[in-house]
Amino acid sequence: MHTFLALGLLSYLLGLLNSTRLTFIANDESDTAIALTQIIRGLQQPSLAILALPSLALSDGVCQKERSVYLDDFLQRLHRSNYKSVVFSQTELFFQHIEENLQGANECISLILDEPNQLLNSLHDRHLGHRLSLFIFYWGARWPPSSRVIRFREPLRAVVVTRPRKKAFRIYYNQARPCSDSQLQLVNWYDGDNLGLQRIPLLPTALSVYANFKGRTFRVPVFHSPPWLWVTYCNNSFEEDEELNSLDSIEKERFGSRVVAITAYSCCYLSI
């Protein structure tokens, strides 16, 4: 009787320990580390910032989830591939790192081992969404989050990696289409039982995505001052903007301003 009680207590304590650490069973640890290493290498960037919070307790019931990745194995494999990485356990330090890179006009790739809804508001509030920043989210979900629950609004560039089954990972990207809905689209996948990563580079290039804008409308603010009084718009359409009309009288005398609404299909231009 005492033996069974001791075994039960031991299992309970191990469960509490596992809930606050980045652990997996041995085979899953290796599978996840190998897959994430190949996914990151598919980006062809030499450095990576990793956000691994001390506790990865997941409370949202939208996706089926697993615990997390075995971080040590992943880092060892990443470094053997000549990658540089910096690991953060505090969000504030992580945000400061992104801000410093943006101020220096440096491209920054980040792997976030947590659900996106915990950080999206902070990323938008601190204006960290930028063409030079890419945020990769992996938290062991089997399916991507619903667009009704989480929206990856432009200019944020976001990738969500899911794990529908063992040794299989899917890569979703929010800027895989030229329209501005920012919905996640399946762009790549990894199969550990086949050839690994399906294609390299990991994500579609901006050149291929925006080769055809498919009628997307852009609102472009244009400021001009004398003697540059002649502004040509490729589709001859413009409309005044309320914020620009709120300029005081002195600014209105010095500068002319308007907002251009351009509907683009292949390419568009502004000549001032």
The CATH number for 23-208, chosen from 3.40.50.1370, 3.40.50.300, 3.40.190.80, 3.40.50.2300, is 3.40.50.2300
The 3 state secondary structure assigned to 54-85 is CCCCCCCCCCCCCCCCCHHHHHHHHHHCCCEE
The domain limits of the chain are: 23-208, 216-271
Which residues are CB-contacts of 16 (< 8 A; sequence separation ≥ 6)? none
Per-residue pLDDT of the chain (272 residues; tens, 9 = 90+): 555 444 454 444 444 344 333 333 334 568 899 999 999 999 988 899 999 987 554 434 334 334 444 688 888 899 998 899 999 999 999 999 999 999 999 999 999 998 898 799 999 999 999 999 999 999 889 999 988 888 898 889 999 999 999 899 999 999 998 887 778 999 999 999 988 999 999 999 988 888 887 777 766 666 655 555 455 545 444 444 454 455 444 444 444 455 555 565 554 444 43
Give me the helices (H) in the chain, please: 2-18, 26-41, 71-80, 91-103, 120-125, 206-209, 242-245, 249-254
- Res 91: pLDDT: 95
pLDDT tens-digit readout, 120-130: 999 999 999 99
